[in-house]
Amino acid sequence: MTDRQTLESLATDLAAGRTTALTLAEAALARAQDAAGEGARVFTHISRERALAAARASDTLRAAGIVRSPLEGIPVSVKDLFDVAGEVTTAGSAVLRDAPPAVRNAPVIDRLIAAGAVIVGRTNMSEFAFSGLGLNPHWGTPANPWDRAGRRIPGGSSSGAAVSVTDGMAAVAIGSDTGGSVRIPSALCGLTGFKPTQRRVPIDGALPLSSSLDSIGPLGASVRCCAITDAVLAGQPVPESGTRDWPGARLAVPETLVLDGMDAPVASAFERALARLAAAGARITRLAVPEFAQFAALNARGTLAAAEAWAWHRALLARHEAAYDPRVSSRIRGGEKMGAADYIDLLAARRRWIAQVERRIAGYDALVLPTVPIVAPRIADLQASDAAYFAANGLILRNPTLINFLDGCALSLPCHADGEAPVGLMLAGAGGADAKVLALGQAVERALAAV
């Protein structure tokens, strides 16, 4: 397996006999266990023997003419919050290292196995998924492949997931996204990531951050990689390779909030991408979305993530708070101050807000906005300063979080030029628009790649 091959190119090589599932698994494991690489910070657990056994089984089935899905024999990594039978689900925390192993697989793990995927291991993450930066004081922080000498953040919370793909330790990674945790590391590391409408993919067997907002999605080398993997996770047929009719596609650029605070590399890449999309035939409209400006006020008495995290963690915090990352525990404790009436009010306000935003964007095929308004900061700078950490975390989470609150779906795909800092372009739609966003994403991907 070469770095950043697509699932379709790997499947073609497997079908032609140019490689085998065992060869791909051995190459992925070698990269993951290379002492000179990022593997020790990318994975919390490497399933070497299980992966090799699954790869051998896949090769045997292929030889008999059985190919279960486009993921057959493909190395896949899974975030360390999914239950895998016989393994401890630590969610990137020291607190759960001695917890009992899971007794059954999460449904998404069963679906991956049934599809013939070869699960290489469990990937590192922001502790309990409660940060968009990817820093982890317990397991270490994998460095972004861009400017690796400068050791920049990979983005979070699915930090190890992203680096497992960029560094060839997996062809595709499975992450979770509560406020951008699939899209942020995809954007900062130059990958494509997809956050589905929450209800399409079961979250059972995934250690929760926010039951209202958690969703499960893939990070990969292309939009098609995400579409294939998303279908497997959702238990749906893999869609035919194809795109939505592109000429005249109606794209809305929200001018409220999401363009604030962009640094120069992001602003340049984003505007260049919009110009390229317009030249390819897209109709781009600049749109005020006043509901986005109301978001902070809606959450002034607390957020759904903090309230629901507090409900899950309060007993564990009472016993083991000293073992938590204090930057995570302090955010969880924010939910302690939120009353039941405040929580119920926020749920009702969210329903009204969703209806208002859906009405406003109904005439467009997708929203288009920067996934993250800044390029990846240096790990050391954020480790050294709480002020820098929380400022970066808030800014990086801002745009993706709006789509989670909308109960929508969104795709982040690279829009920077070769040699530039990675920048993500986000295509987003209302809940249930997944197929449209993915098909449109393939057209956008081609337009951005055109010279």
pLDDT tens digits for range 2-28? 458 999 999 999 999 999 999 999 999
Q: Which residues contact 195 (CB under 8 A, 6 or more apart)?
A: 177, 180, 182, 183, 215, 217, 400, 403, 404, 409, 410, 411
Confidence band (pLDDT; 50, 70, 90) for 403?
Answer: very high
Please state, in angstroms and rounded to a whole number, the distance separating the CA atoms of residues 203 and 215: 7
246 pLDDT exceeds 90?
A: no
Structure tokens given for 34: 């290379």
Please report where in the chains the tokens 């047929």 appear, as a residue: 237
Please state, in angstroms and rounded to a whole number, the distance separating the CA atoms of residues 340 and 320: 25
Q: Is the pTM of this model over 0.95?
A: yes
Active-site residue, from 47, 58, 157, 186? 157
Structure tokens given for 337: 């101050």
Confidence band (pLDDT; 50, 70, 90) for 80?
Answer: very high
Please state, in angstroms and rounded to a whole number, the distance separating the CA atoms of residues 247 and 243: 11
Per the annotation, the verdict on 131 as an active-site residue is no
Q: Which residues contact 260 (CB under 8 A, 6 or more apart)?
A: 373
Active-site residue, from 47, 58, 79, 222? 79
Three-class SS state of 1: coil
Confidence band (pLDDT; 50, 70, 90) for 412?
Answer: very high
Q: Quote the pLDDT of residue 2.
A: 47
Q: Which residues contact 361 (CB under 8 A, 6 or more apart)?
A: 252, 287, 289, 367, 429, 430
Query: What mean pLDDT comes out for the span 222-250?
Result: 89
Domains belonging to the chain, first-starting first, are 7-234 (3.90.1300.10), 250-298+349-449 (3.90.1300.10)
HSE of 32 in the Cβ direction (CA atoms, 13 Å)? 32
Q: Quote the pLDDT of residue 3.
A: 56
Q: Quote the pLDDT of residue 248.
A: 85
Q: Quote the pLDDT of residue 244.
A: 61
Active-site residue, from 159, 181, 210, 412? 181
Q: Are 205 and 176 a contacting pair, CB within 8 Å?
A: no
Per the annotation, the verdict on 126 as an active-site residue is no
Please state, in angstroms and rounded to a whole number, the distance separating the CA atoms of residues 327 and 341: 27
Structure tokens given for 64: 């008999």
What is the torsion angle, in degrees rounded to the nearest 10, for the CA atoms of residue 370, residue 374, residue 376 and residue 377? Answer: -160
Environment class of 358 (CB within 10 Å of its CB; exposed 0-12, middle 13-18, buried 19+): middle
Per the annotation, the verdict on 181 as an active-site residue is yes
Peptide bond into 69 cis (omega under 30): no
Query: What mean pLDDT comes out for the span 236-254?
Result: 84
